[in-house]
Structure 1
Amino acid sequence: MDYEQNVSSTDGESDDGNFNELLELAIAVLGTHELAIEWFHKPVLGLSGARPIDLLASLHGSNQVKEFLIRLQYGVYQ
């Protein structure tokens, strides 16, 4: 199954380019494409228990995911 195709722009604010950017960041932080895809589909405590993939439907949610990944990258969350 191609998980990247599961991302839709329900409000027109998020797009595939944004997902690709976040996927690349997730790969850099988590180490592999497979781990990044898994992470997008699991609830994340630092995102109030939301699944990152569900937050990508809006610009605000995408920004939350990006900020969280950057915090992970710098060791703010373990």
Structure 2
Amino acid sequence: MDSSHACARWPASAPRKPTEYLLRKNTDQLSPAMVYRLTVKGFDLKDVQDMLAISDLYSTKKIMSRIVGKSIRTIQRQGNKQPAHLNSQQSAIAFQYAKVLEHATHVFGTQKLAEEWLGRSCRYLDGEVPLDVIDNPVGFMVLADYLERIEFGVYQ
């Protein structure tokens, strides 16, 4: 995707949601089945890096290594040999990180507050840090449920 194409889709004045970096579309335009198919196809490494770069928390906590299950150095070496592309499992984890950041930003009102919450231990998670449970499918579901509870004021 060339940069002129990206600019046509997202004007500079309209900030993109984390999931839009990965899907290359507004999520309102995609059905859950379409999101699934894009995840199975796999995301480009560059799109994942761009999504992580919008978050101070994500860009400083080695989230890329968590997503791909490899060191940053290995990822960089592979990226130099060929256009790097994540597999479906890695893409699903990247999507989980994007989705949680997006949902937490909506719930807390700003990305800064969302990131503060994501980086602190949480009593609801028995002292676990939300950021540390996102890459597990069950942890992701627990976070999504808890964020909904906070959003609707039904939490402990």
TM range (shorter): 0.7 to 0.9
TM-fit CA distance, 1:57: 2.4
Match of 1:21 in 2: 99
Aligned counterparts of 2:114 and 2:56: Cα–Cα separation in 1:
13
Runs of 4+ with deviation above 4 angstroms: none
Q: Which has the higher helix share?
A: 2
Match of 1:39 in 2: 117
Select which of 33, 51, 63 maps to 2:141: 63
**TM-score, with structure 1 as normaliser:** 0.83
Aligned counterparts of 1:67 and 1:37: Cα–Cα separation in 2:
18
- Aligned residue pairs total 77
Match of 1:73 in 2: 151
Contact 1:42/1:51 (<8 A) preserved:
yes
Aligned counterparts of 2:135 and 2:98: Cα–Cα separation in 1:
14
Q: Are residues 1:4 and 2:82 paired?
A: no
Aligned counterparts of 1:16 and 1:46: Cα–Cα separation in 2:
23
Larger radius of gyration: 2
TM-fit CA distance, 1:4: 1.7
Q: Which sections of structure 2, spanning at least 5 residues, go unmatched?
A: 1-54, 70-88
Aligned counterparts of 1:64 and 1:55: Cα–Cα separation in 2:
9
With a CA cutoff of 8 Å and minimum separation of 6, indicate the structure with the bigger relative contact order: 1
Aligned counterparts of 2:130 and 2:137: Cα–Cα separation in 1:
12
Q: Which sections of structure 1, spanning at least 5 residues, go unmatched?
A: none
CA-based RMSD = 2.0
**TM-score, with structure 2 as normaliser:** 0.44
